[in-house]
Amino acid sequence: MYIKCKTDIGKTRKLNEDYIVTLKSNNYVLIAVADGMGGHNAGEIASKTAAIALREFIFRYYNEYEDKSELLRDAMLKANNEVFEKSKSMQQLNGMGTTLTCCLMLSNKAYIGHVGDSRAYLINDDGIKKLTEDHSYVQQLVKNGTITEIEAQTHPQKNLITRAIGLEENIVVDITEVEINKDDLILLCTDGLTSYLTNEEIFEIVKKEKENAVEALIEMANERGGSDNISVVIARKEDGR
C-alpha cells in the first residue's frame, strides 16, 4: 500500500489546526484527517487528540473485532469521548471540537468513518466518487433544494458544520464500506482543499501529477487563496495488500 500525506498551514492562518495520522500493518492501513475548531489553540488540541485516539484504538483492538465497520465506529466514538472529556478539563478548551474522516483499508475493502465536513474520495480510471456527505448547514440547503452545488461553493456559511467530534457526549458516526481494486486511490482531505477545488479538478490533478499529487493539490489551493489549513492524504491499493 502506497501512502502520501501532507498538511499545510495555508496563507492566512497563524496556526495549523489540522492533524493527519497514518498506520500501516501487515493486515491493514489506516489513514485519517482531522480539522479542529475552538478558541486559542483548542482546535489544534482537539484534532490531535481525536486522531491519535482513533489510531491507538485501531492498533490495540483490531484483532478483537470480526466486523471492521464496528471497529471503526467504536474507534471514532472513543475519539469523541477523549475530546469531550478533555474539553471539560480546562476552561480554555471548553467547546472545542474537530472533524474526523478516516479510512481503514484491507485487502479488497475500504471502511470510511466520517464526522464533519472533511471528505473521502475514491479515485480510479472510472473517475472520482465522493464517499462522504458533509455534515454542514450548506449541505442541508443543497439536499433540500434551496441552493445548488455550485452556489454551495461560495456560500457565506459554507464553513458552518452541523456535527463534530467532541462537542457532545454522544455522536452519530457515518460508516461506509466500498470495494477497492488494484491501483484504486482513497483520498482524504480537509475543507481547506475542497473550498478551492472542485471534485473534477481534484481528479484531474491526481491523474496528471500521480506521485506529486498531494503537493500539487495543496499548491493549487494556496494559489487560489489558502484561507484555511490544507491537509491531503492519498493511499493507493497495490498487489496483495
- Give, as one character, the DSSP assignment of residue 192: H
- What mean pLDDT comes out for the span 89-114? 95
* Alpha-carbon radius of gyration of the chain: 17
Burial class (CB in 10 A: 0-12, 13-18, 19+), 175: middle
- Flag whether 38 is in a domain: yes
Give the whole-number percent of the chain exceeding pLDDT 70: 96
pLDDT at 240 > cutoff 70: no
- Flag whether 200 is in a domain: yes
pLDDT at 46 > cutoff 90: yes
Domain of 103, in residue numbers: 2-236
- Flag whether 152 is in a domain: yes
Q: Which range, of 27-31, 40-44, 181-185, averages the lowest pLDDT? A: 40-44
- Flag whether 39 is in a domain: yes
Distance CA 148, CA 151 (A): 5
Instruction: Please report which helix (H) or strand (E) contains residue 89, including its range.
Output: helix 68-89
pLDDT at 184 > cutoff 50: yes
Cell match 457532545: residue?
168
Distance CA 63, CA 205 (A): 37
pTM of the model: 0.94
- Flag whether 217 is in a domain: yes
- Flag whether 21 is in a domain: yes
Mean pLDDT, all residues of the chain: 93
**Contact by Cβ (8 Å): 92, 42:** yes
Distance CA 164, CA 99 (A): 5
69: domain CATH number is: 3.60.40.10
- Flag whether 241 is in a domain: no
- What mean pLDDT comes out for the span 185-201? 96
**Contact by Cβ (8 Å): 186, 234:** yes
Number of domains in the chain: 1
Per residue in 131-157, pLDDT (tens digit) is 999 987 887 887 787 887 777 776 667
